[in-house]
Structure 1
């Protein structure tokens, strides 16, 4: 059966991308064939679509690290035709053809059952970025962070991970401080639940300091690099910061003093290779006690034609909130 997929090709410095007709026989091997209802747009997708060999080694390629849809056929007894399923992480959209397509074929070990309480639209409003935010909050709480102990900083707050983290932490009664370089979005962040919005320089000025005044109980960092270095000295005793991004760099410089004098923790968050059971548990949680009805207001749905522009905006750091892609709509 023919279907449409967003194909990116790289030749030297030239990058071409377009929606092209494909055949099921061209899909990679796998146990479960899925008809895709929606995908979402993440920073990693923008990198793959821009020919980044650190994400995708071989082209032509179909990006899209998320997908939700209906099982067409399965060689695995755990899934049957008609099942509603979600796929995020593992190798989808990286070196395995991804969710910017009307059909995907993947190993059964990558496939999650969509909870009844989570619509297909909401599943991709969350997407990898939203699930990463949920994993970050979960990791902070497991480290002893709680609402009554002090404010929580969220860096890159207007982005996909950051905006969901702001909304989720607010729902859970935390005092959220949103960090953003987009002053025109301050009111939007306040509407999401931020108690206060600060600019990048308010935090980055303390980069390189061994210790600083303890301001934040914890932080969800989404950008990496110097931002992590600047946050660590400002954490309260027994505080913690999660980190999951690298848009600001991959190196972190920090004194050992905050770790040995205040007992702070630096916690990495991986949403790609964690066990399927853990992914399913997070999916079930966001369908239940951590549901965010307001997430739809943070999400822009696009069809095939708008995908290139959104990918470019996210790569340039100009994306706001979440983007859901309908590959079946022009």
Structure 2
């Protein structure tokens, strides 16, 4: 038996809490992992609070990512003792996830942890950092280079935004960080942002085209924020969109695309092909400042997860929230 966060469905709604689970209850999979660390992400908060219908079946163990050590494997790519990380693949939504001391999953979903990255650091990076790297790679692939001009990052004080700011700065980009919490200005400057922009500039409906400002953008917000970012892109600017913190809708026009040649690139971290996953994790191992990463990480215990999750929906989370599950495995 081991501890797990469990979301149960009742006639009056759903409820999340800490429970006990037997290994035999875990869903099918060819790799059993002893989970060392997991994290809390925005999607986890939606699942735990029930604020959005993220969970597709009940009971469910939430947690869209984890890092741990293989305990048992019938998959040709992994053996007991291997250090692994998982992001996405419907884990924590359709398949029991990482907010538990053990997880049984398909080996095809796992990535071997790069040398030099501890299990703890792997989850300090987590899906947020992995997604941030996918965004940076998308900008590069579409021709946005450090000398192209300023890159704007929305939701910059959150997990994806914080790590995106760090990664871009390390590669020589000039970063403008957008936040709704201007008290975080010093924090964002410490991550490397050159300009701090109040989110209020992006939250009201704007013109189809605004003054050209950004060569590139990483957007976690969606909604009217993304619409205003698109309207402010330079000619042939590129936007990597990976989130919906401000809404699913996109109230924009075709003007940025047909008059300025703007490219909108969708970033999906859930079903991303393994080759890109491997490349992203290798680059994270090589490029991310682990000391800065540690400084922007808050650690909580598994028993605290349900109480902490609502903070995401209230806009109170800075950086990364790391969940200690079996830290002795590190």
Q: TM-score, normalised by structure 1?
A: 0.95
1:35 aligns to what? 34
2:157 aligns to what? 158
Q: CA RMSD in A?
A: 1.5
Between Structure 1 and Structure 2, how many residues are aligned?
Answer: 327
2:307 aligns to what? 309
1:267 aligns to what? 265
Q: Secondary structure at the match of 2:76?
A: coil
Structure 1 unaligned blocks of 5 or more: none
Alignment check: 8 A CA contact 1:285 1:291 kept: no
Q: TM-score, normalised by structure 2?
A: 0.95
What is the CA–CA distance in structure 2 between the aligned matches of 1:255 and 1:292, rounded to whole Å? 41
Deviation of the 1:291 alpha carbon: 4.9
Q: Runs of at least 4 residues of structure 1 off by over 6 A?
A: none
What is the CA–CA distance in structure 2 between the aligned matches of 1:192 and 1:179, rounded to whole Å? 13
Q: Secondary structure at the match of 1:301?
A: strand
Q: Secondary structure at the match of 2:299?
A: strand
Q: Which one of 284, 287, 312 corresponds to residue 286 of structure 1?
A: 284
2:282 counterpart of 1:321: no
Q: Secondary structure at the match of 1:288?
A: helix
Q: Secondary structure at the match of 2:196?
A: strand
2:49 aligns to what? 50
Alignment check: 8 A CA contact 2:235 2:260 kept: yes
Alignment check: 8 A CA contact 2:152 2:175 kept: yes
Query: Could you say which structure has the greater relative contact order, defined with CA pairs below 8 angstroms and 6 or more residues apart?
Result: 2
Q: Secondary structure at the match of 1:238?
A: strand
Kindly report which structure 2 residues correspond to 1:53-92, keeping only aligned pairs within 5 A, or say none: 54-92=53-91
1:174 aligns to what? 173
CA change 1:50–1:189 in 2 (3 A) is: same
What is the CA–CA distance in structure 1 between the aligned matches of 2:92 and 2:202, rounded to whole Å? 34
What is the CA–CA distance in structure 2 between the aligned matches of 1:202 and 1:224, rounded to whole Å? 15
Deviation of the 1:13 alpha carbon: 4.0
What is the CA–CA distance in structure 2 between the aligned matches of 1:123 and 1:253, rounded to whole Å? 36
Structure 2 unaligned blocks of 5 or more: none
What is the CA–CA distance in structure 1 between the aligned matches of 2:288 and 2:318, rounded to whole Å? 22
